[in-house]
Amino acid sequence: LPISMKFAIIFVCFAFATCLIAEQNTEANVTGLGECGTYNLIKQVGFPSSAWNVMTCIASLESSYNCAAGPHENSNGTDDYGLFQINSGYWCSGPGTIANGCGHPCSDMFQCQTNAQCALEVYHQQGFTAWATYNNNREYCESFTVNC
């Protein structure tokens, strides 16, 4: 190959690799999991299969699948955090904490995995009705179908 062609090939390869690296870095910093990412996380942390669609619906309504949502202040002085809007009153250590049912500071609830694991604990103790968004949208969530 002529030398100019070799440089062109090297340039294209370098540009492509740089784009791939930039894309990977962007993906790593995204806090919104989307519907399928949330659904897969729910499965991964151990929710029963009968809860997968409903919990995905709850995450959609609570945070728009955003692990960094909040804190949102409630009228009782507690705050809600992350993907499933975990409440500081009973589930994490933060404003208005009475109990720390998940054993984490509320700042950890911005981590998708930790938030979902805490949501599983909430679910085991209180079911779907722990989330006001479920109670206010029960029919919608019960018929919610994930499209992955």
pLDDT tens-place string over residues 46-85: 999 999 999 999 999 999 999 999 999 999 999 999 999 9
Residues forming a β-bridge with 87: 80
Number of H helices, E strands in the chain: 6, 3
Task: Catalogue the active-site residues.
Answer: 62, 80
Q: Alpha carbon of 1 to those of 8, 11, 15, 112, 148: distances in Å?
A: 11, 15, 20, 50, 46
Residues forming a β-bridge with 61: none
Give the per-residue pLDDT at 15. Answer: 38
Give the per-residue pLDDT at 111. Answer: 97
79-81, strands of its sheet edge to edge: 72-73, 79-81, 86-87
Global confidence as pTM: 0.79
Give Dmax (Cα) for the chain: 74
Residue 19 predicted with pLDDT over 80: no
Give the per-residue pLDDT at 21. Answer: 32
